């Protein structure tokens, strides 16, 4: 049963929209899991292929692996959002900001000549997800499900 939001002629997010966003965040979770699978669990290999040099310094190794550990945590966050895209919009916002910042940083590494062209797979994929996340937030906004109005 659908309810009309008070003081609005708009209805809440429709079931098909909800399903689309569930799939979107499941795909985002899978995308991050694949990245973390390479970066966190096969750190040296991933670094070599992205940057064309060995990862020998233990400090850089741990920092780089930690960055991929963050990617693994975003996997968990996107799964949470996929479970309920309306309720967990705050997690989606944090994930979207992180994804945008990561894509920009990776693009900058490429533009500075520090990364191989294969890094553009990550950059393009993350920018595509960012664009879809913007659509998600616009849909929430038009349905009057604004994050800041939530009591939680």
Q: What's the CA gap between 133 and 37, in Å, rounded?
A: 23
Domain contains 7: no
Asked if the model's pLDDT at residue 122 lies above 60, the reply is: yes
Q: What's the CA gap between 152 and 150, in Å, rounded?
A: 5
> Could you list the residue range(s) of the whole structural domain that residue 95 is in?
26-147
Q: What pLDDT sits at residue 9?
A: 47
Evaluated on CA atoms 80, 82, 85, 90, the torsion sign reads: positive
Domain contains 84: yes
Domain contains 78: yes
Asked if the model's pLDDT at residue 14 lies above 90, the reply is: no
Q: What's the CA gap between 12 and 5, in Å, rounded?
A: 7
Higher pLDDT among residues 67 and 2, named by residue: 67
Q: How many domains does the chain have?
A: 1
Cβ atoms of 118 and 49 within 8 Å: the answer is yes
Q: What pLDDT sits at residue 118?
A: 97
Domain contains 20: no
Domain contains 49: yes
Share of the chain above pLDDT 90, in %: 78
């Amino acid at each position: 049963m659908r309810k009309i939001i008070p003081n609005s002629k708009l209805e809440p997010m429709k079931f098909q929209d909800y399903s689309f966003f569930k799939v979107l965040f499941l795909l985002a979770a899978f995308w991050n899991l694949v990245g973390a699978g390479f970066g966190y669990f096969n750190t040296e290999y991933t670094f070599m292929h992205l940057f064309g040099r060995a990862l020998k310094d233990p400090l850089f190794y741990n920092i780089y692996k930690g960055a991929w550990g963050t990617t693994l945590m975003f996997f968990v966050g996107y799964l949470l959002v996929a479970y309920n895209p309306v309720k967990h919009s705050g997690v989606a916002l944090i994930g979207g900001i992180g994804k945008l910042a990561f894509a920009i940083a990776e693009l900058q590494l490429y533009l500075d000549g520090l990364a191989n062209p294969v890094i553009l797979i990550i950059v393009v994929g993350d920018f595509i997800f960012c664009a879809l996340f913007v659509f998600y937030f616009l849909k929430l906004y038009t349905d009057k499900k604004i994050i800041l109005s939530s009591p939680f």
